[in-house]
Amino acid sequence: MTYDEAMKRLEQLMQQLESGEALSMTEYKQKAGEVRELARFCREQLAGMAQETEEKA
């Protein structure tokens, strides 16, 4: 998965969670877990990019 793909999925999930759409507790927990994992992935990608930039400077 790329950073852009992860961000797009994060946006989709956040819209679903913020829309007030009726979700079961199981669905909510699943989506919230996916949001956490995608956010972690994106943070790691950004940290890696920052480190690469610092190493090149």
User: CA 14, CA 19: separation in Å to the nearest integer?
Assistant: 8
Convert the pLDDT of each residue in 5-43 to its tens digit. Answer: 999 999 999 998 888 888 899 998 999 999 999 999 999
Is residue 45 predicted with pLDDT exceeding 80?
yes
Q: What is the value of pTM for the model shown?
A: 0.79
Break the chain into its structural domains and give their ranges: 3-56
